[in-house]
Amino acid sequence: MKNVDALPAEAQDPAVLYASEAAKSGPAFVETPTAYDAILLASFGGPEAQEDVIPFLRNVTRGRGIPDERLEEVATHYRSFGGVSPINGQNRELLAALEAELARRGHDLPVYWGNRNWHPMMEDAVTRAYADGHRTMLAVATSAYSSYSSERQYREDFARILGPRADGGTELGAGADPMTIDKVRLFFDHPGFVAPFVEGVTSAVTGWLDGGYAPSEIRVLFSTHSIPTGDAERSGPRGRDFGEGGAYAAQHRAVAEYVMGEVRRAAPAAADVDWSLVFQSRSGPPSQPWLEPDVNDAIAALPDEGVRAVAVVPLGFVSDHMEVLWDLDNEARQSAADAGLAFARPATPGVHPAFVAGLVDLIEERIHGTPAAERPHVTDLGPWHDIPRPGECENARLGFRPAAAGLAP
């Protein structure tokens, strides 16, 4: 990890790039009301036709020099669903649900949706918002946890879109009429995000208990995307020890512990149901350490522990996109069948009313400048701060690039 004291003076400037007046000095929690005029729903994106698949994967892996023949190995996941990732359809549903909830609460705020890797592209959404006269946007990213790709990379996207343009066009974040983009806090432990998982795990576990399974025969595996261990170690604020796997793993462990506590409160017979955190969707070279254990390896070991039923919970995911449908509903389900285990996969939040309401709660926190002490959270790690601290979520391979909505570097 780089030492901030060794960075050039401009990289140590506490000002937050392209931020609103209330956020630009970099307080951990912005407790000053801000009059936002539009919302940006920022997401990953996905292909919607067979001919989109390889161009989409090229965008995802840009800068890594991965040949198309290797991309085709991953493309088979999408091709098995007709080349269509469900994520864009899910974002359309979320967009409509956010608009309806904002209107219900009396907020006249348009929601613009833009993706990092496929159409509608984020730069097009922001440029359209600027042309429509909006200058103070608040972003909601479809990622709940601390990591480079789920947090800082979105802020780099904002800085790239608002910053100097290679084609010499209008720099949206500068000049006499600049646009700003703030970002809501990470919501891994907001009750609206967590409630759907509590419902799903409770239903699976109580179903098995009612069906005659002993608590010791049931296992809950909370699954999330694996990331390089170097990135995981850099996922939290500097100077704070989150243990193995950094803030990324600590946040998942804390939420999983809370979910199981709620399950046991709802069903006291589940007190002896064990759980663990597992990882999926690894994509790096074998020589690079990534977070483990893999969900399929964990499932394969369960029969030797006397387990007969496994619930695989997609705790790291906001919606049932491709890595949930393929890696869990296909591969993990098959691993459970091979091991002779009953299998359940609880739903992701999607457009669950509690989740949609929770996202609008986060928007209102920034509109109203809600004090940190009044912000809901279900773990001791929260509420997470509004403004990422210097160096938070650094990419170990790429280092630091300009990022909006957080302190430099």
User: Residue 409: is the preceding peptide bond cis (ω within 30°)?
Assistant: yes
pLDDT in tens, 121-140: 999 999 999 999 999 999 99
Structure tokens at 27: 């307080």
pLDDT value at position 291? 98
Mean pLDDT of the region 206-210: 98
Q: Alpha-carbon distance 134 to 140, whole Å? A: 16
Percentage, residues of the chain above pLDDT 70: 97
pLDDT in tens, 30-75: 999 999 999 999 999 999 999 999 999 999 999 888 899 999 999 9
- The residue count for the chain: 409
Q: Is the pLDDT of residue 79 over 60?
A: yes
pLDDT in tens, 319-373: 999 999 999 999 999 999 999 999 999 999 999 999 999 999 999 999 999 999 9
| Mean of pLDDT over the chain | 95
Q: DSSP secondary structure string, 35-64? A: ---EEEEEE----BSGGGHHHHHHHHTTTS
Q: Alpha-carbon distance 36 to 369, whole Å? A: 12
Q: For the chain, how far is it from start to end, CA to CA, in angstroms?
A: 12
pLDDT value at position 242? 97
pLDDT in tens, 295-322: 999 999 999 999 999 999 999 999 999 9
Structure tokens at 191: 């009750």
- Phi then psi dihedrals of residue 291, to 5 deg: -65, 140
pLDDT in tens, 239-267: 899 999 999 999 999 999 999 999 999 99
Q: Alpha-carbon distance 78 to 160, whole Å? A: 29
pLDDT value at position 298? 98
pLDDT value at position 402? 95
Q: Which helix (H) or strand (E) holds 79?
A: helix 68-79
pLDDT in tens, 137-169: 999 999 999 999 999 999 999 999 999 987 888
| This prediction's pTM | 0.95
Domains of the chain by range and CATH?
A: 4-188+353-374 (3.40.50.1400), 191-344 (3.40.50.1400)
- Phi then psi dihedrals of residue 344, to 5 deg: -140, 145
Nearest Cα neighbor of 389 from 181, 146, 33 is: 146
Q: Alpha-carbon distance 92 to 114, whole Å? A: 11
pLDDT value at position 75? 95
Q: Is the pLDDT of residue 1 over 50?
A: no
Q: Is the pLDDT of residue 14 over 80?
A: no
The string over 265-300, giving b where at least 16 C-beta atoms fall within 10 Å of a residue's C-beta and e elsewhere, is: eebeebeebebebbbbbbeeeeeeebbeebbbebbe
